[in-house]
Structure 1
Amino acid sequence: MQTYLTTTTAAAALGLALFASPAVAGEAAVGAAEPAYSVWMAESIMSRGQGIMTGQGGSSELLQAGITQRALGAVAMRYPAGATTPRITQYLEESAASVVPFTSNATYDALSYPMDRLSTGNALIGLASTSDNETASTEARTAADALRQSIDLNRRNDLGGLWYYVYPNWSYLDGMWSLAPFYTHYALDAAFHGSVDGSSENATTEALDDMVFQLDLLWNHTYNATSGLLAHGYDASRTAVWANNVTGASPHVWGRSLGWYSMALVDTLQILPPTGPACKYRDSILLKWRILASGLLQAVDAATGGWWQVMDEPGRAGNYIESSGTAMFAYALLKSARLGYLPAEDVMEALTVGTRAQKYLTDAFVVRDANGTLSYNGTVAVCSLNSTATYEYYVGQPINYNSVLGSAAYILASLEVEH
């Protein structure tokens, strides 16, 4: 079972080796004249200048940078001898450096963004650890420390759950992919875990306890035992117009929010070591993922192999197969099958379903442009619980063309298929 990975590649230097796949030589993994779809989409994202923080891209811009860093780092690790890999590594450094001015003040800059801000933390840790540029290294470390401190400063509801953003008492599934891997990585990295909360074993334990606690709170308040799926989020005060009067849960299962949570479980499992004191945190996360994976396998659309935008209303008028959530589920299922996180009886089904989903995405949503790049369609815009959270709201949000929230997730799913 794969956990910590060590490598001398520059992608690993950015801290992304924690999530990377075993490397193979060259990028023509399938012996085709064209590059692998993961590489091709990576080149296309870079050609559009996406994943570089500008401050002009709204509250989700840090998340766009984070998911881009994650996907490009995984490509560089998978294809270390690829012709594009040096450019990918350089681009990763540019992306990581671009977020520094926006996250270096924990009490203002970092907290002015949703929890998605934490998605950039792993690349900052790597840049701080190994950059040859002393100024860049110092600035990246400052930003990584500020992101970690922002978790402690983040407002919480009466249950101890982290607010996703500025909405009082509301916690979203969305933030967990950004929170859990970074929280875990930072706590277990000996060069970092003492920076904010003291260099002690207790500090590491407290951070990992809280990481699991946040996953638990969302699970306990949004999980539906009938479907095996989780609603978008919950209001601890149960006063939101959409809140269940017992659990506080929102009424619908939004695909991409559940996709973030699914990836959070799988990616955090990969970071946690299989032995030693920290391995105890694996059990509850592994149990959640196995239950959720079973629900996802049941929820896949039989006709297309994808997953619905509103997953608890399959086939309802106005509903549609959404490309970012589908890519995230394909990635999580394929990766967990590969790394042994699923029961033996579910492995073949997960591989079959995940591979079929990636092929459907390629056929239905990947667009071959005249200039030789790839574009990506079918990714819904941000859906917020700062809304009515009705079915009509979710299916009425616009579809974004070339959203990296979809195309980067597609890269991750494609890398798994290319194994």
Structure 2
Amino acid sequence: MDKIETYIDELLEKSTPDRPIWNIEKILQGLKSTWNYIDGCMIKAILEMYAITKDEKYFRFADNFIDCKVREDGSIEGYSVEELNIDNVNAGKTLFELYDLTGKEKYRKAIDLVYSQIEQMPRTAEGNFWHKNIYPNQVWLDGLYMCQPFYMEYETRFHEKKNYDDIFRQFFNVVEHMRDPKTGLYYHAYDSSREMFWCDKVTGLSQNFWLRALGWYSMALLDTLDKADASVGEPYERLKGVFVDLMDAMLKYQDASGMWYQVVNFGGMEKNYLETSGSSIMAYALLKGVRLGFLPENYQTYGAKAFHGICEKYLSEDADGSLHLDGICLVAGLGGKQMRSGTYDYYMSEPVVKDDAKGVGPFLLAYTEMRRAGLIEA
């Protein structure tokens, strides 16, 4: 077994559904882990590990983890639709796969419950979901990843594609309002009301290009396309073009190490650092983009370079032989109680941690794509 499988096995052995070792935020808060996007990222990656290795231990772990959260009536521990927090949709993606694998009716009911939140989400003037009820009129790139792939899968499988137009329109609104035409990159967030202290009062945009937000958005595009019926034609092809355009824009900023910087366009600036989670997402997006036929074959090289760069810089062994993945930005956002400003210094001020699922999950997803491409031997 290779080093990465050893690493993931170590994490699973140290984790329970109530206290997963990779949810650093909950550990620091001293709280039990209930329904959240961080665990959703990790369980999705573990299910991909099962898909690629067919090793039952990954399936058993994922099923047990989600089974503990979902009650027989489909209600979910620690999840409230009324909170209207787009992050909470993300873990719902695991339910589709687990429903297919287990046939547990409670997973199907839970899928409907999560979908009911989508039906109630408040929207900006342009028609995009608010990021959270507590962040009115705001669209964050992160939120596209948290919600749209789930939304698309539900529409494709269970709703006769009735809301495809809504999904495509939300992406195209982001292209219109959040893309910087000079660089091809996207700003982290947009305030449709132009009221938040962190936004430009003319454009409504935050100030910087944060790597992980760009990563989440890349995955949002790719995973939504993956769950869509391509036969819808024009909007599907147009969204594919948006994904390809973003990959080309990001490649201009890829460091010689293969990684990307925390604030993407300021590589080499004081305090800026090569960041693991966003670089892992980019590796995944490039490799999967090639596999799905959206990107030319030679882009695989850039994805593999990113993956190997992360392993070289941040996957290390302790004196006791245990493995760790370092260089992960714990969290970054805008506004809130902390009055986060979105300045360059703000993005440099957030803690950098080891083994957090926001880095480990995407890293494992990139690993499964490396395996699928035959770039790492089983």
Deviations 1:32-73 (A, max 9, x none): xx4262x33431331231776788659996111211121111
Map Cα deviations across residues 391-418 of structure 1 (whole Å, 9 max, x no partner). Answer: 1111110012210110111111122223
Name which of structure 1's ranges 141-150 and 279-288 shifts more when overlaid on structure 2: 279-288
Asked whether 1:44 is paired with 2:7, we answer: no
The residue that corresponds to 1:30 in the other structure is none
SS at match of 2:238: helix
For the residue of structure 2 that corresponds to 1:230, the secondary structure is coil
Distance 1:149 1:359, change over 3 A: same
Q: What residue in structure 1 maps to residue 344 of structure 2?
A: 391
Match of 2:152 among 159, 162, 184: 184
Task: Give the Cα separation in 2 of the matches to 1:115 and 1:53.
Answer: 23
Aligned with 2:324 (options 351, 356, 375): 375
- Of 232, 238, 245, which residue of structure 2 is paired with 1:291? 245
| CA pair 162-363 structure 1, distance change in 2 beyond 3 A | same
Query: Helix, strand or coil for the counterpart of 2:230?
Result: coil
Q: CA deviation at 1:281?
A: 3.8
For residue 2 of structure 2, the aligned residue among 30, 35, 50 is 35
In the alignment, the residues of structure 2 paired with residue 284 and residue 98 of structure 1 have an alpha-carbon distance, to the nearest angstrom, of 40
Hey, what does 1:124 align to over in structure 2?
95
Q: Secondary structure at the match of 1:375?
A: strand
Tell me, yes or no, if the aligned pair for 1:164 and 1:175 is still in contact at 8 Å.
yes
Distance 1:310 1:60 in 2: 31
SS at match of 2:96: helix
Structure-2 change in CA distance of 1:210 and 1:59 (3 Å):
farther
Q: Aligned-pair distance for 1:314?
A: 2.0
Q: Deviations over 1:247-298 (max 9, x none)?
A: 21111011001100101111122222333xx455421210110110100110
What is the rounded CA distance, in whole Å, between the counterparts of 1:220 and 1:237 in structure 2? 16
**2:205 corresponds to which of 244, 249, 252:** 249
Cα pair 1:50 1:404 within 8 Å, conserved? no
2:190 and 2:276 map into 1 onto residues whose CA distance is 24
Structure 2: distance between partners of 1:351 and 1:116: 30
Give the distance between the partners of 2:308 and 2:360, measured in 1 at CA.
Answer: 14
Shift of 1:309: 0.4
**Percentage of identical aligned residues:** 29
2:376 aligned residue:
none
Equivalent residue in structure 1 for 2:86, among 82, 91, 115: 115
**Partner residue of 1:172 out of 137, 140, 143:** 140
Which residue number corresponds to residue 353 of structure 1? 302
How much has 1:173 moved relative to structure 2?
A: 0.4
> Could you say which residue in structure 2 is the equivalent of 1:70?
44
Partner secondary structure for residue 151 of structure 1: helix
- How many angstroms does 1:79 deviate by? 1.2
2: distance between equivalents of 1:64 and 1:394? Answer: 19
Structure 1 position 149 matched with structure 2 position 98: no
1:140 CA displacement = 2.2
> How many corresponding residue pairs?
358
| Amino acid corresponding to residue 163 of structure 1 in structure 2 | W
Q: 1:362 to 1:391 in 2, by over 3 A?
A: same
Distance change >3 Å, CA 52–CA 293, structure 1 → 2: farther
Displacement after TM superposition at 1:188 (Å): 1.2
Q: Which runs of 5+ in 2 are unaligned?
A: 21-25, 374-378
Cα distance in structure 1, aligned partners of 2:34 and 2:171: 21
Question: Does residue 1:416 correspond to 2:373, yes or no?
Answer: no
Q: Which residue of 1 aligns with 2:225?
A: 269
CA–CA separation in structure 2 for the residues paired with 1:59 and 1:112: 17
- Give 1:330 shift: 0.9
Q: Secondary structure at the match of 2:266?
A: coil
TM-score when scaled to structure 2?
A: 0.87
2:227, 2:329 → 1: CA distance? 29
Give 1:98 shift.
3.6
Per the TM alignment, residue 205 of structure 1 is displaced from its structure 2 partner at its CA by 2.3
Deviations 1:294-345 (A, max 9, x none): 001101113x221010113222111111100000001101111222102x4x
Contact 2:199 2:206 in 1 (8 A): yes
Asked whether the 8 Å contact 1:65–1:95 carries over to 2, the reply is no
Letter in 2 for 1:265: L
* Alpha-carbon separation, structure 1, partners of 2:47 and 2:199: 38
Answer whether contact 2:194 2:201 (CA < 8 A) is retained. Answer: yes
Partner of 1:205: 162
Whether the 8 Å CA contact 1:45–1:404 is kept in 2: the answer is: no
| 2:139 alignment partner, SS class | strand
Whether 1:326 aligns to 2:279 is yes
The equivalent position to 1:259 in structure 2, one of 212, 215, 219, is 215
1:126 positional shift: 3.4
TM-score with structure 1 setting the length:
0.79
Whole-angstrom CA distance in 2 between matches of 1:404 and 1:249: 28
